[in-house]
Structure 1
Amino acid sequence: MHAGAESHTAFMAARRMDTVEMDTLEEGPEDDLSFQGMDVPQQHQTISDTAELASAPATPKRLTPPFTPSATSPTNQPSAAPAPPPFSMPSTSFSSMLAAAQPSSSSVHPQHPQSASHTPTGAATMPSSSYASPAVPRSPMISSAGAGTKTPRTPWTPRMLMSPIGTPVVKAITNMKSYLEDVGHLTKLNPQDAWLPITESRTGNAYYAAFHNLNAGIGFQGLLLPLAMFSLGWTWGLISLSIGYIWQLYTMWVLIRLHEATPGVRYSRYVELAEAAFGKRLGFWLATPANINLTAGTATTLLIVGGSTLKLFYKIVCGPECGTSPLTTIQWYLVFAMLSIVLAQLPNLNSIVGLSLIGAVTAITYCTMLWALSVSRARPPGVSYNIEGGKSIIAQTFTILNSLGIVAFAFRGHNLAMEIQATMPSTLKHPAYIPMWRGAKVANAIIAACYFPIAIAGYWAYGTMMLSSGILFSVYAFHQKDISRPLMGLLFLLVVVHCLSSFQIYSFSIFDNFEAGYTARRNRPISKPVRVAFRIFYVFTNFLIGVAFPWLSSLSGLLGGLSSAPVTFAYPCFMWLAIKKPKKYSFNWYLNWTLGLLGMLMAAAFTAGGIWSIVDSGLKLHFFKAS
């Protein structure tokens, strides 16, 4: 019996040591102490013991000291040897029990000495893998030296975590992201967008939208509105201006809502939206020429107006002390181009938000100054508001159409709506159209507060004597002696600053097109030297076009019919019909079909009126002769 008790105790001690080794094996590669110094038979023995433990019934057991036969046991015999050294007799104190439960490595595994890295140092808590097995006594177990001080893999990993869960979680997140992209709750971003100047930064907000829309919406074309009133008269002039304002505000709302009309897709450029609505080939040919005309053409016109205004600013500030050999007009164009090259090196559209803010403030300021100075000063003698008579019906008709084209050209910036909205973050709960529409509403309210007073006050102050170059040069021509030089110089300086800032926002669409082609071919971001070289080349190309065609700023009616009318008034309505597909014969369906068709008819009529105005007024087309 003594021999049986001794063998049973040794078997239980060996089982506990094998369990410790198997639990230590589960700890990870840092504490892998299993099979150190074992031969093959011992490995098989450990595995078989583990299988036996796993097959035992899962009945919980009370934590008791290991069984040791006592002297009073019925199975005890007087000649029995004392208990083996690994375990002592049960004690009344738990601390003595813990101390007695520490066997020496030689008594448990005398034929396999432990290595230096596997030195038992005391009792530890029971591994979680042993809780469900009734075959393992609930006594304190031996752990490795570093078990209590093991560092987690990351600061957020639970210390009692035995198996890594990073890979399954990552897979689940990836699968969920793919599912949300498929159903349209997440936007599939084009990796190339991170390399392009328009979509490189997506940190915009409602303030950015207001600044960009103001900078792009107010400009030199608004200064020509009194000239349109000259042919339309008070009544029809104000009616056409009001209808044009409401119409363009509606199409701006349409473009903003179509930015993410397709679930999971963002149309970040006007041409992309046109291709999605009309097909790739048709959409490209409908939108690209008009978009280039409204971006590169407007940039060239801004260079011409800015250079001419810069020349007048220098003349006003310097006065008669300037000398007899000032710079020529072409040289002032070059000065404006050099300033534009410096500002054009800003990397993306969000980086010029400061310029857009400056441009918006200067535009509001000089618009207010223009109508205030026009009203506060005495009107020139001989001012009349009667529409010229003596013309044929055809001539009067084309003159009216040209004036309507000027009104249409005054409302610009719709070709940049997609680009501005693309700079904003967008989620399912916070879509980008909300801040974009807020900024657009504020910008359009300010535009109305600038345009209507200019049209009314300019026409009241000058009537039929309004110069063809607009209210700015009319104020200078009629009131240069009535207005102080500092105030007049400030007025022209504000116009120059606004032209410089507006030149940048209209140029970024061209920058984006070039870099899109470059990155698509090279499959890498554009290098800084190539970016700088292209932007310098682009500005100098605009300079050469401005020198060759210095009369472009006089073609506002023609430009309004060719590009502004379809892009601003017609195309958005057809895009809404093609993408949103409203119910047939509903109010929305009738509204967009009517506005779209009327916009295309207006575009053709305005173009014809612009051509007739050029022929009728005898506009002298001086090539390479800037006045």
Structure 2
Amino acid sequence: MYLSGGTCVTLIMIGGGTMKIFFQIICGSTCNVNPLTTMEWYVVFTCCAAVLAQLPNLNSIAGVSLIGAVTAISYCSLIWVISLSKTRPMGVSYDPVHANSDGEKLISILNALGIIAFAFRGHNLVLEIQGTMPCSGKSPSRVPMWKGVKFAYVIIAMCLFPIAIGGYWAYGNMIPSGGMLNALYKYHGHDISKLLLGLASLLVVLNSLSSFQIYAMPVFDNLELRYTSKKNKPCPWWLRSGSRAAFGCLAFFIAVALPFLPSLAGLIGGIALPITLAYPCFMWLVIKKPRRYSGNWYLNWALGVLGMILSILVVTGAIWDIATMGLEIHFFKPQ
């Protein structure tokens, strides 16, 4: 619930902000239409997401998931190919950022690990997706799920490694806070056709809309499970639609109220880190019940404890980084 809700808030910020950029690219400087504010674009994105959110379950959004995957691969490839094909900006530097002390350097590394963990936030959906698969003693669902996870992360690596390596080569330390898409607008907006810039923005918007449904589905399932468990009957369509629209409104409110939330990516990723590095080990111990003090018992306890320690260190690093570097806080003022 925590990861899904936080991700949906971030997607509203990304999708709504990119909608604004897409309109500016298509409309151009000669357009006489009064542009919408950032908050109004958030409303447009949330309304579109709320309509798509009426699909009942994860199985029904397989097509939406496919669109999300195709658009992600497309815009990642488009961005790094364009960045590599254009001339690098003047003054690009690859010198490492110098820390004032070894402690500050360690804190920065831990905060970066939290941001990386937040980037791979899809891990909280693995068990949700596996739960939709047919399972029997002869054909356990973990077999196709493991194949799917391996294939999915190969695709993710094919998207993220080229854009990270190519982006660093193209922009070095000059990458703006908004990431590679903002770097594309900032440094190559004058020498790239509107068609390519608009296409990149449109792909990001479509990916954000598709991702919203996927990440929000565990929240929807949890809310409906509470109703069916308490009432012992299926959730009516009007309640399901209303609860999903209400969740969209809540995510929109948080996105508007806390526009500085992306600056807390390291902290959010650190808090979520045990879902990947610790909880599975403890779950395996509870479910499989290996012989006490056996090799597997020691291994899973060691990995689980190590995952919790790493999570605490990453959270500490993120908090320390915020305390030392500062955080620009502006409530209800999305940029």
* TM-score bracket relative to the smaller structure: over 0.9
Query: For the residues of structure 1 that align with 2:281 and 2:334, how far apart are their CA atoms?
Result: 40
Query: For the residues of structure 2 that align with 1:530 and 1:423, how far apart are their CA atoms?
Result: 22
Question: How big is the shift at 1:608?
Answer: 1.7
SS in 2 for 1:578: helix
Does residue 593 of the first structure (1) align with residue 301 of the second (2)?
yes
The one-character-per-residue Cα deviations of 1:86-126 (angstroms, maximum 9, x if unpaired) are xxxxxxxxxxxxxxxxxxxxxxxxxxxxxxxxxxxxxxxxx
Q: Structure 1: any 5+ residue segments left out of the alignment? A: 1-291
Query: For the residues of structure 2 that align with 1:326 and 1:405, how far apart are their CA atoms?
Result: 36
Picking from 193, 198, 215, the partner of 1:506 is 215
Structure 1 runs of 4+ aligned residues shifted over 4 Å read 583-587
* TM-score using structure 1 length: 0.52
Partner of 2:204: 495
SS in 1 for 2:139: coil
CA contact 2:99–2:105 (8 Å) conserved in 1: no
CA RMSD, Structure 1 to Structure 2 (Å): 1.6
Query: For the residues of structure 2 that align with 1:504 and 1:332, how far apart are their CA atoms?
Result: 18
Partner of 2:323: 615
Larger gyration radius, structure 1 or structure 2 = 1
Q: May I ask how many residue pairs the two structures share in their alignment? A: 335
CA contact 2:279–2:304 (8 Å) conserved in 1: yes
Query: For the residues of structure 1 that align with 2:108 and 2:236, how far apart are their CA atoms?
Result: 50
Question: How big is the shift at 1:450?
Answer: 1.2
Question: How big is the shift at 1:585?
Answer: 5.3
CA contact 1:305–1:553 (8 Å) conserved in 2: no
CA contact 1:405–1:561 (8 Å) conserved in 2: yes
The one-character-per-residue Cα deviations of 1:386-430 (angstroms, maximum 9, x if unpaired) are 222251233222111111111222222221111101111112222
Query: For the residues of structure 2 that align with 1:485 and 1:399, how far apart are their CA atoms?
Result: 37
Picking from 11, 35, 46, the partner of 1:337 is 46
The one-character-per-residue Cα deviations of 1:158-213 (angstroms, maximum 9, x if unpaired) are xxxxxxxxxxxxxxxxxxxxxxxxxxxxxxxxxxxxxxxxxxxxxxxxxxxxxxxx
Partner of 2:267: 558
Q: Percent identity?
A: 54
Does residue 458 of the first structure (1) align with residue 167 of the second (2)?
yes
Query: For the residues of structure 2 that align with 1:600 and 1:387, how far apart are their CA atoms?
Result: 29
Which structure ranks higher in relative contact order (CA pairs < 8 Å, sequence separation ≥ 6)?
2
CA contact 1:304–1:546 (8 Å) conserved in 2: yes
Task: Answer 1 or 2: which has greater helix percent.
Answer: 2
Picking from 412, 421, 426, the partner of 2:135 is 426
Does residue 373 of the first structure (1) align with residue 94 of the second (2)?
no
Partner of 1:580: 288
CA contact 1:412–1:568 (8 Å) conserved in 2: no
Partner of 1:449: 158
Picking from 391, 399, 406, the partner of 2:108 is 399
Query: For the residues of structure 2 that align with 1:462 and 1:531, how far apart are their CA atoms?
Result: 46
* TM-score using structure 2 length: 0.95
Question: How big is the shift at 1:524?
Answer: 1.0
Within 5 Å, give how 1:20-419 maps onto structure 2: 292-323=1-32, 325-389=34-98, 391-419=100-128
Partner of 1:532: 241
Picking from 432, 436, 456, the partner of 2:145 is 436
Query: For the residues of structure 1 that align with 2:138 and 2:40, how far apart are their CA atoms?
Result: 53
Alignment CA distance shift 1:377-1:585 (3 Å): farther
Question: How big is the shift at 1:323?
Answer: 2.6
Picking from 174, 193, 197, the partner of 1:484 is 193
Q: Structure 2: any 5+ residue segments left out of the alignment? A: none
